[in-house]
Structure 1
Amino acid sequence: MQTRSKAVLALILVIAAVVAALTIDIPDPEPLRERVAAAGAWGVVAFMAVYVLVTLTPFPASALTIASGLLFGLVTGAVIVLVAATVGSWLGFRLSRWLGRDAVARIGWARVASIDALIGRRGFLSILLIRLVPVFPLVAVNYAAGLSAVREREYVLGTVLGIIPATIGYTALGAYGTSPLSWPFLIAVVAVALIAAVAGFAAKNMRVPAA
């Protein structure tokens, strides 16, 4: 499936979520949030550990980002995701550099090689743009960057700044998903839709290879 098709699918899923939220009696998330709060710091640590592990796999981290908003609220949830996603991305970067090109090629060299070419010699700016417009899966960028010449500090900084918009958008979907007529939820839907649309447009122009 091409990345542009995935962007269209993301838009459809967002619309479907809005329709479902408007027509289905959604349970109150407060009891679940209270249980998570009762777990204290251990609940946060456990969630972050799972998130870090997910960033090392092809599983879409956006699902956990939405869950973070549902469980912890917008601000706390977004901070948790930013920290966990950054740590996981850094670990993937370090793992890639340690394993080397041959091992990482097994995850799909056409995809990784295309990111490697985009990163080129611009380091921080390339990582920032790739993260801002999530054309590529998180895990693919992590491993491709580890194989490139980008400096570790530039990679981490570009990742932190680049994932902020999508993190806030998806976390807000989870935080306000039970109030589909609220302004925060509608703004989150628009933000996620724009991210998906821009990603699809960028994928078309960059001729991103199929997954």
Structure 2
Amino acid sequence: MSLFTQDNLEWFLEKFRGLGPIPGILLTFMKSFVPPLPTALIVGVNAAVYGFWPGFIYSWFGLVAGCFVTFLLVRSVGKSRYLDQWAAKPKVQKGMRWVQRNGFSYVFLLGILPVGPFVAVNIAAGLARMHIQSYLMAVILGKGIMVFCVSFIGANFSDFLRQPVLFAGVIVFVLLLLWISKKVESYILRSYLPESAANTPME
């Protein structure tokens, strides 16, 4: 993951800019399959290289597409005999029922955060057989808000650097979102997911 620095990402996007939006969309799409990828950095660089609105649209589309594909794959694989047996366990059922009842809020709220257990969110929603339209709407709205905020910062990053107060505000904002995501993740693991899953760190 040391390869995914701001300079390397900017070089990659500039190098393949002739391919249009594909590089920017591909980087955000990969986030759903390579959890350690730095979402906020990729989204910010997209906005810096392509411009605010194009970068926002490319990142939004890529993230939503990646999440939706992951969700559909898990939802499909979740019909296997092995996963059905695992899902029949009482503690697992408790966690899945909570996701089914609160699925939209669960996906939407965690989708707003630029850091968090995205892969685990998609898997939980898929295993819980969350309604496809509800899941898609929650991802579109949640990721849209997050990408808009990060893209705005990325496209105007030089202005933030020239104004220390604004830059300090950005740092505080990012740290606050990180703290909130960890609290939400811990609450979900402790209160709703089965013990075996709660003892396993979310991606």
> TM-score under structure 1 normalisation?
0.64
Which residue matches 2:46?
A: 68
- Bigger shift: 57-66 or 81-90? 57-66
Computed over aligned residues only, the root mean square deviation of the Cα atoms, in angstroms, reads 3.7
- The whole-number CA distance in structure 1 between the counterparts of 2:153 and 2:112 is 18
Q: Deviations over 1:115-144 (max 9, x none)?
A: 746513233233222323567422221222
- The whole-number CA distance in structure 2 between the counterparts of 1:34 and 1:205 is 38
1:7-46 to 2 correspondences below 5 Å: 35=14, 39-40=17-18, 42-46=19-23
Go from structure 1 to structure 2 and tell me whether the alpha carbon gap of 1:54 and 1:205 turns closer, same or farther (over 3 Å shift). Answer: closer
- Structure 1 unaligned blocks of 5 or more: 1-26
1:176-195 to 2 correspondences below 5 Å: 176-179=156-159, 180-182=161-163, 188-195=170-177
Go from structure 1 to structure 2 and tell me whether the alpha carbon gap of 1:34 and 1:54 turns closer, same or farther (over 3 Å shift). Answer: closer
- The whole-number CA distance in structure 1 between the counterparts of 2:137 and 2:55 is 20
- The whole-number CA distance in structure 2 between the counterparts of 1:50 and 1:33 is 10
Which residue matches 1:4?
A: none
- Bigger shift: 120-129 or 79-88? 120-129
- The whole-number CA distance in structure 2 between the counterparts of 1:84 and 1:176 is 21
In the alignment, is the contact (CA less than 8 A) between 2:52 and 2:151 conserved in 1? yes
Residue 77 of structure 1, CA deviation? 1.4
Which residue matches 2:75?
A: 97
**Structure 1 vs Structure 2: percent identity of aligned residues?**
20
- The whole-number CA distance in structure 2 between the counterparts of 1:135 and 1:39 is 27
In the alignment, is the contact (CA less than 8 A) between 1:170 and 1:192 conserved in 2? no
Go from structure 1 to structure 2 and tell me whether the alpha carbon gap of 1:204 and 1:59 turns closer, same or farther (over 3 Å shift). Answer: closer
Residue 85 of structure 1, CA deviation? 0.6
> TM-score under structure 2 normalisation?
0.66
- The whole-number CA distance in structure 1 between the counterparts of 2:125 and 2:114 is 14
Go from structure 1 to structure 2 and tell me whether the alpha carbon gap of 1:35 and 1:53 turns closer, same or farther (over 3 Å shift). Answer: closer
Q: Deviations over 1:139-170 (max 9, x none)?
A: 22122211112101100100111123332333
After the TM superposition, list the runs of 4 or more consecutive aligned residues in structure 1 that deviate by more than 6 angstroms: 31-34, 101-105
Which residue matches 1:141?
A: 121
In the alignment, is the contact (CA less than 8 A) between 1:172 and 1:188 conserved in 2? no
Residue 57 of structure 1, CA deviation? 2.4
